[in-house]
Amino acid sequence: DNNSPGIAYTYSEPLIWYEYVLDTARLAKKNNLKNILVTNGFINQEPLLKLLPFIDALNIDLKSFRNYFFQKYCQGSLAPVLRIIEIAKSYSHIEITNLIIPGLNDKEEEIKELVDWVASQGYKLL
């Protein structure tokens, strides 16, 4: 017994080591440890659903609320990240991070749309 409350999978993108995270989270849960995942939300639904039963809380970095931002800077799209947030909220405590980057995702209209979407999902806004 080491008095550790749990494990946080964070820094860089932990899901690039998905199998390691899944195996570790499974063992941690078996040993009554909490699992916290900090991710950008780029994961397919099937592996996410295998992982979520072992995750107690997620922090998802929603980098922008504009699809062009995801296409240009993340080589992806917004919709799959929003879908992952919608799925995950049924399993775990969710926190959404939106790092404001001056000139890229800092327009008042975009921030308002993001906040409105978060509120429409039933999240408590802090």
Distance CA(86)–CA(88), nearest Å, equals: 6
Cβ atoms within 10 Å of 35's Cβ, excluding its own: 22
Query: 49-61 pLDDT, tens per residue?
Result: 999 999 999 999 9
What CATH number matches the domain at 6-120, 3.40.50.2300, 3.40.47.10, 1.10.3720.10, 3.80.30.10? 3.80.30.10
Query: How sure is the predictor about 126, in pLDDT bands with cuts at 50, 70 and 90?
Result: low
Contact predicate 59/95, CB 8 Å:
yes
For residue 2, pLDDT over 90 is answered with no
Task: Give 113's contacts (C-beta < 8 A, 6+ positions apart).
Answer: 65
- 2: tokens are 């080491």
DSSP code, position 28: H
- 14: tokens are 């932990």
Query: 23-40 pLDDT, tens per residue?
Result: 999 999 999 999 999 999
Query: 70-107 pLDDT, tens per residue?
Result: 999 999 999 999 999 999 998 999 999 999 999 999 99
Domain boundaries, the chain: 6-120
What's the pLDDT score for residue 125?
62
Distance CA(118)–CA(14), nearest Å, equals: 24
Nearest CA to 106 among 116, 95, 98?
Answer: 98
What's the pLDDT score for residue 124?
66
* Residue-averaged pLDDT of the chain: 93
